[in-house]
Structure 1
Amino acid sequence: MSKSLNHLDLSRNVLTGGISSTNWEQLHDLVHVDFGFNSLNGSIPPSLFALPLLQQLWLSNNQFEGQIPEFYSSVLKTLDLSGNRLEGSFPISIFELKSLEALILSSNKFNGTVQLDMIGRLVNLTQFDL
């Protein structure tokens, strides 16, 4: 893949298997990633959450398992992880994403509590689906 790639949309392609955890850091210009509506499984690679320019991440309606990795991107605006098999609690770093406008996490197996004051930190949030 081109290192200058900024938009990657592989949604609705009946893809199976997992997402490799290698080489994401080389795609430092990625702004939009969409793997939604496939049959991808396994864990979500933490390196995907470290892309410095990533604004939109769509991983909905797959079969991802495990916990959500920590976030290191500060410009993320849309995060859709709905319709997977993710579990556990939310990483605190989600609530530090000051640019986040849409947080869509429904239809997973999360547990624990979400403090309202934590959601209040997301000052640009206009859509929250749990």
Structure 2
Amino acid sequence: MVIYPTLKEKLDYNYFRSNLPQELVQLQRLRTLSQVQYFTGFTPPSLSNISTLHTLNLSFNPLQTKIPGEIGNLNNLRILNLEYDNLSGLLLIFNGSKIETLALSDNSLSGTLPLDICRRLPKLEGLHRSSNLLDGEIPANISECSQLDLLSLSYNKFSGSVE
């Protein structure tokens, strides 16, 4: 794959047939990586070096893997969408994040929601976690997420209530 130096902001609506190319990390101005279809690997760990990445949407891909912790190094990431990707393993919530939308529905993720989710993700507007293997108490203070306007936790094993 040839990466042109004039590509500055978006790389979306592509049909990669295997892993994302390692050359993506050369795009130091890339803001959006979205709607990449037929991707069967996961993000190269070096993708976390693209400090300008704002949107990472790899939904609807047969990834069948775990979410790499390196995604937490994307300090400017606002939208993370990994829905319908056959992901497994523990649910990851990153600290000090600028995340506004965290969409991980329809996977096989396990674990609990952290009790301090509103402190960890103060800009959170949308939390999509339906149809996973999550359990435990819904944090009683979830209403303290002042920006939250969409909360989807259905089809899990949560207990408790949202006030």
Q: TM-score, normalised by structure 1?
A: 0.78
Unpaired segments ≥5 residues, structure 2:
1-46
For 2:125 and 2:156, locate their aligned partners in 1 and report how far apart those are by CA, in whole Å.
21
Matched, 1:6 2:54: yes
Question: RCO higher in 1 or 2 (8 Å CA, sep ≥ 6)?
Answer: 1
In structure 1, the gaps of 5 or more residues are 119-130
Residue 27 of structure 1 contacts residue 51 of structure 1 at CA under 8 Å; is this kept in 2? Answer: no
Over aligned residue pairs, what C-alpha RMSD do you find? 1.6
Out of 109, 122, 138, the residue aligned to residue 64 of structure 1 is 109
Q: Which amino acid aligns with 2:147?
A: S
Aligned to 1:89: 137
Structure 1 ranges of 4+ moved more than 3 A: none
Mapped partners of 1:103, 1:23: distance in 2:
22
Residues 27-76 of structure 1, C-alpha deviation per residue, up to 9 Å, x if partnerless?
Answer: 110010000011101111232xx253211110000000121134211111
Letter in 2 for 1:58: A
**Percent of paired sites with the same residue:** 29
Measure the CA separation in 1 of the matches of 2:112 and 2:136.
6
Instruction: Name which one, 1 or 2, has greater alpha-carbon Rg.
Output: 2
The correspondence of residues 1-130 of structure 1 with structure 2, limited to 5 A, is 1=47, 2-22=50-70, 24=72, 26-47=73-94, 50-69=95-114, 70-71=116-117, 72-111=120-159, 113-114=160-161, 118=163
Secondary structure in structure 1 of the residue aligned to 2:142? helix
* DSSP-derived class of the 2:124 partner: coil
1:56-99 residue CA offsets vs partner (Å, 9 max, x unmatched): 11000000012113421111111100010100111245322100
Q: How many residues align structurally?
A: 112
